[in-house]
Amino acid sequence: MTKQTRSQDKLSGNKISDSSSLNDVNLTQIGALMSSIVQERTKFLEEQVKLLQEQVAVLTESNKDLIRLLTRDNVYSNETHPEDVLNASGVSVSMNDTVIDAKDASKPYKKFTPKNKNKLTKSNEGNKTTTQHVPEITKKHNFAKSKSVIGKCNGELSSEPEFKAAAQRIWLHVSRVESGTRKEKIMAYLQRKCPGKDFVIEELSSDTGRSSTFKLGPDYELKDILYSGEFWPQGVMIRRFNFFRGHSKSTNNPFE
């Protein structure tokens, strides 16, 4: 092999090595460029996915409030179950529908409150009937209890009425009186202490026999005087007389 041939082979080998180096540089640049493009697209897609997730979250919350509102309203009015009223999976959304941007979308600030309906309010809701007040009818056997009248007439044309009301009295139980004391002695004592006053007195039977007891009916105006301890002899007890149902007033002794 001649020197010229060797030099040509050497030049061709250098050209081949230079071409290989150039190809390696181009591949490295292309790989770096593709990697940067892929990273940018990946970042863009991640941002889009995040944006869509935010939109889905907002729409889900809005749909929950709407579903809750419609469900409760229809349950009260139609007496159906929530799953029979609205099914979220059956809602179809087309690509032409307007979608709210996640930046502008937010939960409704106004809280939906369902109508408080039940069977009674629902039946009365559309009723336009007007009610009229009906006066209460007083039954015959309740008339005396429901309505009482006290007379005020003192006579007509300066003449006295033919009858008058009975004197209002209080009834007292006089006890611990010395055994054998008669009602005439009690009456004399009362007329001496309160002259000109009318008294009704009745002796009561006593099973013990250790003391005498009386039922006393003075005028009502003497109540405060007769309830005073200074009015009666020492040791005599005065109490309000209680009339028990089913006993005779003449023999009723409520404290024995």
pTM score, two decimals? 0.36
Name the DSSP letter for residue 90.
G
Distances in Å between the alpha carbon of 69 and those of 75, 87, 92, 105, 121? 10, 13, 20, 20, 19
Most confident region among 84-88, 146-150, 231-235 by mean pLDDT:
231-235
Q: How confident is the model at residue 83 (pLDDT cuts 50, 70, 90)?
A: very low
**How many CB atoms within 10 Å of residue 170?**
16
* Domain 172-240 architecture: 2-Layer Sandwich (3.30)
Question: For the segment 108-120, what is each residue's pLDDT rounded down to a tens digit?
Answer: 555 555 565 566 6
Q: How confident is the model at residue 34 (pLDDT cuts 50, 70, 90)?
A: confident
Helices (H) and strands (E) in the chain, counts: 6, 4
What H or E segment, with its residue span, contains residue 122? helix 119-125
Which stretches does DSSP call E strand in the chain?
A: 172-178, 199-204, 211-218, 237-240
pLDDT at 8: 55
State phi, psi for 58 to the nearest 5 degrees.
-65, -45
Question: For the segment 2-11, what is each residue's pLDDT rounded down to a tens digit?
Answer: 545 555 555 5
Do residues 108 and 62 make contact, with C-beta atoms less than 8 angstroms apart? yes
Question: What is the residue extent of each domain of the chain?
Answer: 1-125, 172-240
Question: For the segment 172-202, what is each residue's pLDDT rounded down to a tens digit?
Answer: 999 999 988 999 999 999 999 999 888 999 9
Q: Using CA of residue 210, residue 212, residue 215, residue 218, what is the dihedral sign?
A: negative
Q: Which residue has the higher pLDDT, 35 or 1?
A: 35
Do residues 255 and 175 make contact, with C-beta atoms less than 8 angstroms apart? yes
pLDDT at 149: 80
Do residues 173 and 185 make contact, with C-beta atoms less than 8 angstroms apart? no
- Tell me the mean pLDDT in the region 162-169: 81
Name the DSSP letter for residue 110.
S
Cα separation of 72 and 188, whole Å?
87
pLDDT at 254: 44
Question: For the segment 200-214, what is each residue's pLDDT rounded down to a tens digit?
Answer: 999 988 777 788 999
User: Environment class of residue 81 by beta-carbon count within 10 Å: exposed (0-12), middle (13-18) or buried (19+)?
Assistant: exposed
Closest CA to 105 of 70, 63, 71, 68: 63
State yes or no: pLDDT of 156 exceeds 60: yes
